């Protein structure tokens, strides 16, 4: 019942896709700060290697950067092989890599639909499939392996931006989480999802020109998310404390979903 046992992820090995920035970087940092070995991926080699170096040095930990494009099945298989060649087992998979596309309904392009669906949904499913042998190795009823899929409150509420494929994709992530949880619980692999609200990121920042004041005003908590908010939840789901939590889509949004429909002005 001690905190150091309940919430420990020390010695675990994790893979965080899209871990070079934003929410992925926050989760990877939280894992590394608490004794996990973490692989992070991104399409940009320079960026992912630099982020891995920064995290490793900051937390005196082992963070390994991998250049990877998992928007295609070939990329998924290549990443799986890299992890398999490096590790005998995997304790935690965080399916975080994603993309967004915003355009008016009348002008929304096919490329904006396919790009988002491929990265947010297809890659999540097939990377999970490819890594099942590694995830199964350390899994037990007391300490199951963990899969955390990063969804979004845009997959629950109607979105503020005209990101039609993103909302559909994140809703699919939430339901696929429940489907996979049902399938994998008997193999001692827990599957859950986190549905974040606004966090500082390149994706969100571009949409609001990196001025978060209006988003903070509209948020019941009065601010946007911090690294501690998202990393803390991911650590809970990955630790002994979260071993009995299965198939959940947990919002991490400062109360936006809970307060939907209420006037916060």
Catalytic machinery residues: 166
- Rounded Cα distance between 97 and 118, Å, is 11
- Please list the residues that pair with 13 across neighbouring strands: 37
Cβ-Cβ contacts under 8 Å for 93 (sequence gap 6 or more): 14, 15, 127, 128, 131, 135, 145, 146, 147, 148
- Rounded Cα distance between 138 and 131, Å, is 13
The conformation of residue 158, written as its DSSP 8-state character, comes to P
Specify burial of residue 244 (Cβ count, 10 A radius: 0-12, 13-18, 19+).
Answer: exposed
């Amino acid at each position: 019942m001690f905190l150091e046992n309940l919430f420990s992820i020390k010695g675990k090995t994790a893979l965080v896709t899209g871990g070079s920035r934003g929410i992925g970087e926050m989760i990877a940092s939280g894992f590394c700060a608490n004794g996990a070995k973490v692989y992070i991926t991104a399409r940009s080699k320079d960026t992912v290697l630099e982020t891995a170096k920064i995290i490793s040095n900051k937390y005196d930990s082992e963070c390994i950067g991998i250049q990877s494009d998992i928007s295609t099945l070939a990329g998924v298989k290549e990443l799986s092989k890299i992890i398999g060649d490096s590790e005998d087992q995997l304790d935690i998979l965080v399916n975080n890599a994603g993309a967004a596309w915003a355009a008016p309904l009348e002008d929304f392009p096919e490329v904006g639909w396919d790009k988002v669906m491929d990265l947010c949904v297809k890659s999540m499913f097939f990377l999970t499939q490819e890594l099942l042998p590694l995830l199964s190795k350390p899994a037990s009823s007391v300490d199951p392996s963990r899969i955390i899929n990063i969804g979004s409150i845009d997959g629950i509420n109607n979105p503020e931006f005209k990101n039609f494929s993103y909302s559909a994709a994140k809703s699919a992530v939430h339901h696929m989480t429940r489907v996979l949880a049902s399938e994998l619980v008997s193999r001692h692999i827990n599957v859950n999802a986190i549905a974040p609200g606004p966090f500082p990121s390149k994706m969100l920042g571009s949409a609001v020109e990196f001025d978060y004041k209006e988003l903070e005003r509209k948020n019941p908590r009065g601010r946007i998310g911090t690294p501690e908010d998202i990393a803390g939840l991911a650590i809970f789901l990955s630790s002994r404390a979260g071993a009995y939590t299965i198939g959940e889509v947990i919002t991490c949004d400062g109360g936006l979903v809970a307060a939907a429909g209420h006037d916060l002005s």
